[in-house]
């Protein structure tokens, strides 16, 4: 499982002090990028092979300004041209799940403008983060 920590800033909250629903997608994006970088792929615009095909976030409990969040990322599906990531967003202080997200990532050739099969090495790396749902 891959993990990152996020600190909730004031500007990421709404008038009630809750984490704004759009902020969760920023946290999930950060987790995805750091996960993919941990596999050896750098966020290089000229050499990036991933597109986001779908993303979702379920809000489980309330999150607030000034919380430290732990985002755990793991793989739930590996296809021929895509893979699915799952994210658990957890309040570090209470260990309570605040939100759960997922994303489908497609391996993509931007020059050809089409999806490509996942390289075998990438499939092997993804497998090491695979968790049965």
For the chain, the residue count is: 133
Residue 81 has pLDDT above 80, yes or no: yes
Residue 29's domain comprises 2-127
Give the CB-side neighbour count of residue 5, counting CA atoms within 13 A. 8
pTM over 0.95: no
Q: What is the pLDDT of residue 132?
A: 80
Element (H or E) spanning 32, and its range? helix 21-38
Domain-embedded: residue 93? yes
pLDDT tens for residues 48-64?
A: 899 999 999 999 999 99
Domain-embedded: residue 132? no
**CATH number of domain containing 99:** 3.10.129.10
Average pLDDT of 71-76? 98
Distance CA 81, CA 59 (A): 29
Count of structural domains within the chain: 1
Domain-embedded: residue 37? yes
Domain-embedded: residue 50? yes
* Mean pLDDT estimate for the chain: 94
Average pLDDT of 23-43? 93
pLDDT tens for residues 96-115?
A: 999 999 999 999 999 999 99
Per-residue pLDDT band for 47 (boundaries 50, 70, 90) equals confident
Per-residue pLDDT band for 133 (boundaries 50, 70, 90) equals low
Give the CB-side neighbour count of residue 61, counting CA atoms within 13 A. 10
Domain-embedded: residue 100? yes
DSSP 84-123: EEEEEEEETTT--EEEEEEEEEEEEETTTTEE-PPPHHHH
- Percentage of residues in the chain with pLDDT exceeding 90? 87
């Amino acid at each position: 499982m891959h993990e990152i920590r996020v600190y909730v800033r004031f500007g990421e909250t709404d008038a009630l002090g809750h984490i704004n629903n759009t902020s969760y997608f920023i946290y999930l994006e950060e987790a995805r990028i750091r996960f993919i970088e941990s596999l050896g792929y750098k966020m290089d615009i000229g050499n990036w092979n991933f597109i986001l095909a779908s993303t979702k976030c379920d809000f489980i409990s309330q999150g607030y300004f000034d919380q430290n969040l732990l985002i755990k990322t793991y793989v739930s599906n590996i296809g021929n041209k895509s893979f699915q990531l799952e994210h658990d967003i957890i309040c570090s202080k209470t260990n309570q799940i605040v939100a759960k997200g997922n994303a489908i990532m497609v391996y993509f050739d931007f020059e050809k403008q089409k999806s490509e099969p996942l390289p075998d090495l990438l499939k092997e790396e993804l497998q090491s983060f695979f968790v049965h749902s």
